[in-house]
Structure 1
Amino acid sequence: MEKTPVLAVVVPCYKEEAVLCETHKRLSQLLDRLTAEGRIAPESYILYVNDGSTDHTWSIIKDLHQNTPYACGLNLAANVGHQNALMAGLNAVKERCDAAISIDADLQDDINAIPEMLERYMEGCDIVYGVRRERKTDTLFKRTTALAFYRMMKIMGVKSIYNHADYRLMSRRAIQQLCRFRERNLYLRGMVPLIGYQTACVYYNRDKRFAGESKYPFKKMLNFAIDGITSFSVKPVRMIFWLGCIFILIAFFVTLWTLRVYYLHDAVPGWASLIISIWLVGGVVLVSLGIVGEYIGKIYIEVKDRPRYNEEELLLR
């Protein structure tokens, strides 16, 4: 690649008033340096996507747009979630840049990995994943659950990059291909690897959050994991089928045992085994219906084909 690329940095924001000014300061300093070195075009910019924040996040974005270089803004009409907000930002920049980097506003992802991402892009990679070297800044609980999640995704046959979140560089054509995916249940970590094209990984150390609170409590992480599995794998449904087969086989042998006891007049009166069986089978049926219902619910959402988000205001340079 010979042309100096126009770089767009897409930053989803939800209640980030405590950290936004510092984020813009650090990103602007980095873009200044990359522009001075001739690695990106002077037209490069940062797009902050306000995901329906109820604090002063959008006011800060508008102020940054008016008074500082690089800052652009996209205000969504309502809170639609991190993945939809990120998709909205990528869709907004896909015709206005040569490459885009998505990064969270909390300053935990090391922005100093961006120059190396650009190097891989200039070498011909359309997608460059930012991958954490380790998880020392996480609690033991979060490290354990994250490891279990990635292993579960692998077992379920979902393509994903271990220790990669949504910190990545994508070329314009990669973004355009991603925008062709029309599903409403977004799991970008699983969708991006499906695009193909040449990829690379850049490794970095994740810092502690500069300010504010995490926007991914346990409940949201659990829902995100469920969406990731059910949006990309039908193995849970197949597991239900095989579980049903196992229970039928067990029931067959129990029937044989019952007949044997009956004809040998060795039956022991009691109701414990009956009650346990009813509860066990009932529990399996309910769990199975819940898993199948998760897929039916996603079909219900998809067939309505509602917009992922509504744009209220777009500020560009």
Structure 2
Amino acid sequence: MRSPRLTIIVPCYNEEAVLPKSAHVLAEILMGLIQHKQVNSESKLLFVDDGSQDATWALVKELETQLPVVTGIKFSRNFGHQNALMAGMKTACPTSDMMITIDADLQDDPQVIPEMVARFHAGSDVVLGVRNDRSSDSHFKRWTAERFYGLMNRIGVQLVPDHADFRLLSQRAVRALLSYQETNLFLRGIVPQLGFPTTKLYYRRRPRFAGVSKYPLRKMLSFAFDGITSFSIAPIKVILMLGVLISGGSLLMMVYAVIQGLLGTAISGWSSLMTSLWFLGGMQLIGISVVGEYVGKIFAEVKHRPRYIIETDDYTVTQQPALLDSQRVHV
């Protein structure tokens, strides 16, 4: 019986500073797995160039000549990290029995990849890489992460705390994932919904050895907001409750004003009037903005535009049937 075929998918956006080292580290791990017959000899290390403006793609082409396991695909422009992951999985899925996604900066520990493969052999379709601590993060980043995961759980989104996009998925799990057609992707929320046998693998996150983060605070906040609005209408419900509370407060103030008028103690005040108007006007603008965000997402979904456009595709492997669950080698 043949060994399962693995594809390690690495999204890249302006990663020329880290790519040479990352490629050699990941290639060494992959070739070790091949040598020990844990994966098929045609397993690949697939780099997805997400419209980089530097020499990332040139480095991928150079690495293809140096390392036989390296291959790549190139987007025509920048389509975003989540779309790069989906493109890599869609490209590899027909010929791969399992796929691992990991960022190019290798802050997610690549040395746990062999253990991920072992858990696939043991029957897991989904292996989630989960950070075992956040001591390397700033206090602000730890606090915001805790608030985000807590909020998502309260509104019913099944997120795994401290899990990002470092994971292994079997071919059938990827096929199920690819059936999700929404334009606004939030894979951290979708993957736990797949329902296949899942295990968590804990690791210690390492500092970035070169380059700069592609997720500054602004992008992180935008990513979090997309996650909330892609999976829940809780913000609209919050606005509804605020509207009810404000309306109730207005009625109480109206009763109070009538009583003060009957008693002859009413004091007319420009400041209180303007403050009320500004408050209500602000709440209306917030409400309109949140509803507009959902309308905008609907607008993007109904157009059915492609998630990405591939300019160059170097991924070529021999087509072989996927392993059945009963054919997995249990270790």
TM range (shorter): over 0.9
Runs of 4+ in 1 over 3 A off after TM superposition: none
- TM value normalised by structure 1: 0.97
Q: Does 1:143 align with 2:114?
A: no
Which aligned pairs between 1:64-103 and structure 2 lie closer than 5 A? Answer: 64-103=63-102
Q: Does 1:208 align with 2:207?
A: yes
Q: Which residue matches 2:321?
A: none
The 1-side partners of 2:19 and 2:279 are apart by 52
The offset of 1:123, in angstroms, is 1.5
Q: Does 1:59 align with 2:46?
A: no
Matched AA of 2:230: S
The offset of 1:243, in angstroms, is 1.1
More deviation, 171-180/152-161? 152-161
The offset of 1:40, in angstroms, is 1.0
Which aligned pairs between 1:280-295 and structure 2 lie closer than 5 A? Answer: 280-295=279-294
Retained in 1: the 8 A contact 2:9–2:99?
A: yes
Q: Helix, strand or coil: the match of 1:95?
A: helix
Matched AA of 2:98: A
- Per-residue deviation, residues 132-162 of structure 1 (Å, max 9, x unmatched): 0011221222212111211121122111110
Matched AA of 2:188: R
The offset of 1:31, in angstroms, is 1.3
More deviation, 176-185/26-35? 26-35
The offset of 1:38, in angstroms, is 1.7
Q: Helix, strand or coil: the match of 1:165?
A: strand
The 2-side partners of 1:283 and 1:266 are apart by 30
The 2-side partners of 1:309 and 1:41 are apart by 29
Which aligned pairs between 1:295-306 and structure 2 lie closer than 5 A? Answer: 295-306=294-305
The 2-side partners of 1:205 and 1:265 are apart by 70
Retained in 2: the 8 A contact 1:65–1:315?
A: no
Matched AA of 1:214: S
Q: Which residue matches 1:157?
A: 156
Q: Does 1:43 align with 2:50?
A: no
More deviation, 83-92/265-274? 265-274
- TM value normalised by structure 2: 0.93
The 2-side partners of 1:298 and 1:188 are apart by 16
The offset of 1:272, in angstroms, is 2.0
The offset of 1:3, in angstroms, is 5.0
Q: Which residue matches 1:179?
A: 178
Which aligned pairs between 1:113-262 and structure 2 lie closer than 5 A? Answer: 113-262=112-261
Q: Helix, strand or coil: the match of 2:95?
A: coil
The 2-side partners of 1:303 and 1:32 are apart by 44
- CA-based RMSD: 1.1
Q: Does 1:29 align with 2:28?
A: yes
The 1-side partners of 2:158 and 2:77 are apart by 31
More deviation, 297-306/29-38? 29-38
Matched AA of 2:303: K
The 1-side partners of 2:289 and 2:156 are apart by 21
Retained in 2: the 8 A contact 1:76–1:313?
A: yes
Retained in 2: the 8 A contact 1:108–1:206?
A: yes
Retained in 2: the 8 A contact 1:35–1:41?
A: yes
- Per-residue deviation, residues 27-71 of structure 1 (Å, max 9, x unmatched): 111112212222111111110000000101001101111221210
- Per-residue deviation, residues 260-296 of structure 1 (Å, max 9, x unmatched): 1111111113222211111111111111111111101
- Per-residue deviation, residues 91-147 of structure 1 (Å, max 9, x unmatched): 101111000000000010101111111122112111110000011221222212111
The offset of 1:316, in angstroms, is 2.3
Matched AA of 1:216: Y
Q: Helix, strand or coil: the match of 2:167?
A: strand
Structure 2 runs not aligned, ≥5 long: 317-331
Matched AA of 2:94: E
Q: Helix, strand or coil: the match of 1:94?
A: helix
Matched AA of 2:105: D
The 2-side partners of 1:55 and 1:19 are apart by 12
Matched AA of 2:227: G
The 2-side partners of 1:112 and 1:299 are apart by 41
The 2-side partners of 1:296 and 1:64 are apart by 44
Retained in 2: the 8 A contact 1:132–1:204?
A: yes
- Per-residue deviation, residues 197-236 of structure 1 (Å, max 9, x unmatched): 1111000001111211110011111110110000001111
Matched AA of 1:168: R
Retained in 2: the 8 A contact 1:75–1:314?
A: yes
The 2-side partners of 1:93 and 1:300 are apart by 30
The offset of 1:189, in angstroms, is 0.4
Retained in 1: the 8 A contact 2:131–2:162?
A: yes
